[in-house]
């Protein structure tokens, strides 16, 4: 028995000793590495002149990686084809740049790495490293500086490409669609300011792109654009502010497609409002058509009656100066059944109408077969308006707080394009108590009229707006409690909407000014905001 106890004691003793040794020997790991990698040397050296080679190596004091080089690395002037940059996806103590382009004579090239160089362990960035070389005898050292703002949004876009085009005998306004710029930089993802460096003296055009394709040429369909109105003479001490905007693309229509019996779809881009569509060829007696816009997509629907007995036909589509002739092949499909629905359900804002829309063109509404009663069963007088393009009937009447309304439409109250009528339709909606809502008053100082005053959500969607041609108070009554952004649109052409710009016409977008703080609309509260505006857009700032 003594031997058994001795063995047990010895076992636990050894175990404790091992644990203690293990505890004493566990490394702490040391302090976290927060130091960025350092450059040991470059071959050839940075800011070298008379460069004739095809390869550059940059050596570091530790292993590094290159991250997101497609967005972060900006080469000015651009190279085509792009150079090969290593390592990609692995660690190395040096970066290799293999030049594939034939470099221009007497030109300074800059490789701006942004935040792409990081150490291998903790990914500490070597921020905004720039390697510069010249194929001539000296390094160009002039620069153009400025900032990018968004013409419509509160916050500017990230990774905006800013470009200088040399104004010479080959330059025209269409150059930005076809050729790469002389110099280029990028705002990256953390700042909206830019500096195009290492440029030579001369005259330039300053253009900014949200370059979705990364090819340094303007693609109207996908890119946002901004431009300075005049030529820039370098050297300059001015600070240039560029408004980025999305152009309305030139109108173009796609090939028609039969999507239902007597219903043809035309996809489009651009401004559709002056579009006419004409079916060619012999048509049956009493032929009619209607054109509707899809509520969500850039699509026009061409409805027609009676049915035509043809295999194929042609359509002529016109929109201002645009004309195109498109071939269409008919398909034997089913007719769309009439479906009527309200545009809003539940609670309706006091400034909004109750409206109905349909998937088939509507023709008639017999108001004598429609009744509106409130929660006390009191009949409400109303009138209707029809929006032809959106295919909506609006019911206009005075609404009171904390009320509930019932709308009944008897059979045959509504007739659609094909003569189909409705069955009995019943809808209900309500209004809130004033105590559940908020009132906001806005006073503008130094505004240039006409203006549109808007309250938007954090995504820029307009929730409430008012228009004025002369100074007045802007009272937003009985609005839903929330935090809003207040903005003022300078409606310079008086068409009651914000208009974007146009590059070829050299038209800047209409100015929008944002109030610096959020508007707090609290339930049961009346709040007042005073917004002081600049009368005009500022000129470039001279340093």
pLDDT by residue (tens digit) across 107-142? 999 999 988 999 988 889 888 899 999 999 999 999
- With beta carbons less than 8 A apart as the criterion, state whether 390 and 362 touch: no
Tell me how far CA of residue 385 lies from CA of 85, 364, 408, 471, 523, in angstroms: 64, 11, 17, 30, 32
- Domain shared by 442 and 521, yes or no: yes
- The C-alpha angle 283, 284, 285, rounded to 5 degrees, equals 120
Can you give the CATH number for the domain in which 195 is found?
Answer: 2.60.40.1120
3 within a domain of the structure (yes/no): no
- Domain shared by 378 and 305, yes or no: no
Query: Once rounded to an integer, what is the mean pLDDT over residues 392-401?
Result: 96
- Domain shared by 427 and 447, yes or no: no
357 within a domain of the structure (yes/no): yes
Of the candidates 111, 229, 207, the one whose C-alpha atom is nearest the C-alpha of residue 160 is 207
What is the rounded distance in angstroms from the CA atom of residue 251 to the CA atom of residue 244?
21
11 within a domain of the structure (yes/no): no
- Domain shared by 284 and 345, yes or no: no
Beta bridge partners of 108: 134
Tell me the residue range of the domain where 90 lies: 39-134
- Domain shared by 166 and 116, yes or no: no
Instruction: Report residue 214's pLDDT band, with 50, 70 and 90 as the boundaries.
Output: confident
Instruction: Report residue 9's pLDDT band, with 50, 70 and 90 as the boundaries.
Output: very low
Query: Once rounded to an integer, what is the mean pLDDT over residues 263-288?
Result: 94
Contacts of 331 (CB under 8 A, 6+ apart): 258
DSSP 3-state assignment of 516? coil
Q: Among the three residues 389, 417, 432, which one is the final residue of a domain in this structure?
A: 432
pLDDT of 159 strictly over 90: no
Query: Once rounded to an integer, what is the mean pLDDT over residues 249-277?
Result: 95
- With beta carbons less than 8 A apart as the criterion, state whether 404 and 430 touch: yes
Can you give the CATH number for the domain in which 294 is found?
Answer: 2.60.40
- With beta carbons less than 8 A apart as the criterion, state whether 101 and 84 touch: no
Count the alpha carbons within 13 Å of 334 in the hemisphere toward its beta carbon. 3
Of the candidates 438, 524, 535, the one whose C-alpha atom is nearest the C-alpha of residue 484 is 438
360 within a domain of the structure (yes/no): yes
- Domain shared by 532 and 447, yes or no: yes
Task: Pull the structure tokens for residue 364.
Answer: 């008639």
The per-residue pLDDT for 536 is 67
Can you give the CATH number for the domain in which 68 is found?
Answer: 2.60.40.1220
Phi and psi angles of residue 178, each rounded to the nearest 5 degrees, phi first: -120, -30
Number of domains in the chain: 5
What is the rounded distance in angstroms from the CA atom of residue 277 to the CA atom of residue 294?
16
- Domain shared by 187 and 232, yes or no: yes
Query: Once rounded to an integer, what is the mean pLDDT over residues 224-252?
Result: 96
- Domain shared by 159 and 238, yes or no: yes
Instruction: Report residue 256's pLDDT band, with 50, 70 and 90 as the boundaries.
Output: very high
274 within a domain of the structure (yes/no): yes
Task: Look over the chain and give the mean of its residue pLDDT values, rounded to a whole number.
Answer: 91
- Domain shared by 259 and 307, yes or no: yes
Percent residues over pLDDT 90 in the chain: 80
287 within a domain of the structure (yes/no): yes
The per-residue pLDDT for 114 is 85
239 within a domain of the structure (yes/no): yes
79 within a domain of the structure (yes/no): yes
- Domain shared by 427 and 441, yes or no: no
Q: Among the three residues 114, 134, 154, which one is the final residue of a domain in this structure?
A: 134
Tell me how far CA of residue 141 lies from CA of 47, 147, 431, 462, 520, in angstroms: 11, 20, 66, 46, 49
- Domain shared by 229 and 308, yes or no: no
Q: Among the three residues 244, 269, 294, which one is the final residue of a domain in this structure?
A: 244
- Domain shared by 233 and 258, yes or no: no
The per-residue pLDDT for 370 is 98
Strands 74-76 and 299-305: what pairing? unpaired
Of the candidates 264, 267, 305, the one whose C-alpha atom is nearest the C-alpha of residue 288 is 305
């Amino acid at each position: 028995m003594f031997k058994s106890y001795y063995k047990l004691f010895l076992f636990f003793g050894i175990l404790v000793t091992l644990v203690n040794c293990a505890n004493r020997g566990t490394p702490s790991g040391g302090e976290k590495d927060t130091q960025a990698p350092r450059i040991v040397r470059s071959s050839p050296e940075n800011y070298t002149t008379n460069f004739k080679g095809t390869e550059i190596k940059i050596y570091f004091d530790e292993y590094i990686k290159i991250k997101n080089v497609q967005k972060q690395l900006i080469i000015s002037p651009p190279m085509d084809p792009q150079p090969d940059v290593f390592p990609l996806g692995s660690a190395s103590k040096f970066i290799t740049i293999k030049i594939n382009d034939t470099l221009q004579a007497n030109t300074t090239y800059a490789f701006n790495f942004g935040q792409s160089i990081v150490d291998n362990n903790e990914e500490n960035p070597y921020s905004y490293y720039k390697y510069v070389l010249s194929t001539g005898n000296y390094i160009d050292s002039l620069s153009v500086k400025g900032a990018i703002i968004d013409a419509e949004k509160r916050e500017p876009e990230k990774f905006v490409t800013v470009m200088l085009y040399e104004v010479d005998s080959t330059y025209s306004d269409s150059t930005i669609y076809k050729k790469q710029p002389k110099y280029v930089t990028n705002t990256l993802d953390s700042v909206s300011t830019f500096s195009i460096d290492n440029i030579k003296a001369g005259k330039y055009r300053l253009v900014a792109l949200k370059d979705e394709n990364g090819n340094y040429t303007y693609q109207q369909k996908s890119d946002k654009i901004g431009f300075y109105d005049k030529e820039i003479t370098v050297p300059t001490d001015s600070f240039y502010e560029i408004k980025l905007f999305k152009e309305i693309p030139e109108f173009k229509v796609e090939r028609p497609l039969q999507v239902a019996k007597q219903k043809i779809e035309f996809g489009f881009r651009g401004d559709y409002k002056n579009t006419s569509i004409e079916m060619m060829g012999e048509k049956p007696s009493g032929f009619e058509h209607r054109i509707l816009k899809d509520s969500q997509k850039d699509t026009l629907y061409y409805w027609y009656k009676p049915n035509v007995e043809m295999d194929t036909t042609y359509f002529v589509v016109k929109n201002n100066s645009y004309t195109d002739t498109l071939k269409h092949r008919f398909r034997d499909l089913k007719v769309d059944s009439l479906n009527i629905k309200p545009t809003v359900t539940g609670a309706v804002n006091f400034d909004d109408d109750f409206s109905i829309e349909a998937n088939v063109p509507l023709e008639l509404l017999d108001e004598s077969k429609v009744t509106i009663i409130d929660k006390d069963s009191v009949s409400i007088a109303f009138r209707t308006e029809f929006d032809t393009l959106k295919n909506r009937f609006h019911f206009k009447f005075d609404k009171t707080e904390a009320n509930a309304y019932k709308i009944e439409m008897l059979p045959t109250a509504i007739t659609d394009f094909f003569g189909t009528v409705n069955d009995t339709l019943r809808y209900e909606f309500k209004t809130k108590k004033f105590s559940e809502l908020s009132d906001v008053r806005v006073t503008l100082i130094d505004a240039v009229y006409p203006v549109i005053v808007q309250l938007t959500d954090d995504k820029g969607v307009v929730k409430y707006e008012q228009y004025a041609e002369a100074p007045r108070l802007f009272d937003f009554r009985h609005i839903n409690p929330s935090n809003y952004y207040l903005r003022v649109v300078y409606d310079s052409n008086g068409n009651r909407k914000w208009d974007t710009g146009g590059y070829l016409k050299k038209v800047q977008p209409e100015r929008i000014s944002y109030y610096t703080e959020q508007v707090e609309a609290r339930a049961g509260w009346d709040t007042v905001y005073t917004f002081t505006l600049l009368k005009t857009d500022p000129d470039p700032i001279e340093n």
